[in-house]
Structures are given as structure tokens and as C-alpha cells.
Amino acid sequence: MPFIFKDLTCVGMDRALAIANHFIALARKYKIRELPPVKLHGLVYFAHGWWLGLTGKHLLDNAVRAARAGVFVPELREAGCWGTRNTDGWLGFTKMDEGRGLMTEITPRLPHEDPAVRLLAWVWDIYGTLQAFEISQQIRAVGTPWDLIWNDEGRQENDSALIPNGTVRLWFQALSDRYRSEGRALPEVPEHAVRPQMSSTQPTLVVKSEDPNRLRKT
């Protein structure tokens, strides 16, 4: 059953799946038939990154993770969005209906008045028609958050690594500043969403001349 957010501040697995489902709806609207998981994860990541860069606030409750192939959103994986098969259905989860005592299928969707809807439309305009490998190339380019985390010499040998939201925010802040300097359009964000000042407790990137693409925390 469709589940529409009444509380626009709601975050968590529901929120991540609702954003992914919004992109699935846009793909259907514009008749984009190929939407493999790697592309859908990338679109949700770009939305989260641009929102962080423009407002300093989280669009997703949890951080995304880096893997060898690129980035992924854990909540989407938990909902079965992984592998190479095309994403051809809504993402959802089961929840106990306490009143009926039965498990119910929930398909989270964003309401039209959600503050992020305009940003998601802008992200779709920029990235929606790209092929999955093109999105992966952008995500894995030199100096990106994925590169800083996955190729850091201190990364533990495991299947994935957390990409701190502070790292994502810094990258997309710089990208949004570059867009402004080039006179390129940026998405509209709510007037009350302002970019906070970076505090000394937040991760920052320190460039070392001999190794410019590594993450350092200060």
C-alpha cells in the first residue's frame, strides 16, 4: 500500500525509499526503461549530496557507503535494490499492522509539497538520462568523496566504507560554488534552509601536495 509522509521531517529507511521511489516515478514519466540499481543508488546519492552542499542539512538520515563499484545507500539494499537486474518496481518493506495483527507491505512515497521535490526534479534533469556507467564515472572520479574514502591508505580491507556526511558536504559545497561562478542554474531550496558554518568538530579535507586525494580529519 502507498505510504505518504504527513510529517515532512520524517527520515530513516522510509525517507530513503521514498526518495528512490520518486526517481522511479520520474523514470516512468519520462519513459526511461533502464534504471539498474547502481544508477538508482547514484541518483539518491546525488540528491543527498546536493542537498547537503546547498543547505548543510541531511536529506537522508544515514550516510552512504563506498564500495568498489561506487556508492550505495544501505536502506535501498535492505529493500532488495542491488545486483544487475533493472529496477522495475517500487521499493518497500513489510510492517506489522497492530490493529489487524498482519504484516503489511509499505511503499513510501513523497508528498508533492515535500521541500525536496524540486531538488529531486533538478537532479533528474542533470543525471536522469545518463547511463549507469556515466553516473559511476562521475561518482568515482579523482578527488570525489568516493575516491577520498575508497582509495585512502588507512581504509580497512572490507566490502564497503562509510563516506562521512561532512566529506560529502564539502565536495558538493565546492561544486555548487563552481556552478555559481560559471553562471549555471542551481536547484531551489527552502528559504529557511541555510548553510551552517563548519565547526572545528566536523571533518575537513587537508590537501597534501604529494597526496592531494586523501581524506584527513583535523
What pLDDT digit, counting tens, does each position of 132-173 carry? 999 999 999 999 999 999 999 888 877 899 999 999 999 999
- Domain assignment present for 198: no
Range of the domain at 123: 2-181
- Domain assignment present for 134: yes
88: confidence class by pLDDT, cuts 50, 70, 90: confident
Average pLDDT, the chain: 82
What gap in Å lies between CA 173 and CA 178, rounded to an integer?
9
- Domain assignment present for 216: no
- Domain assignment present for 195: no
Distances (CA, A) of 156 to 66, 67, 141, 217: 12, 12, 21, 16
206: confidence class by pLDDT, cuts 50, 70, 90: very low
- pTM for the full predicted model: 0.81
Considering its fold, how many domains does the chain have in total?
A: 1
For the chain, how big is the Rg over CA atoms in Å?
A: 18
Looking at residue 187, its amino acid is P
Among candidates 127, 182, 61, 126, which has minimal Cα distance to 174? 182
- Domain assignment present for 139: yes
Percentage of the chain surpassing pLDDT 90?
60
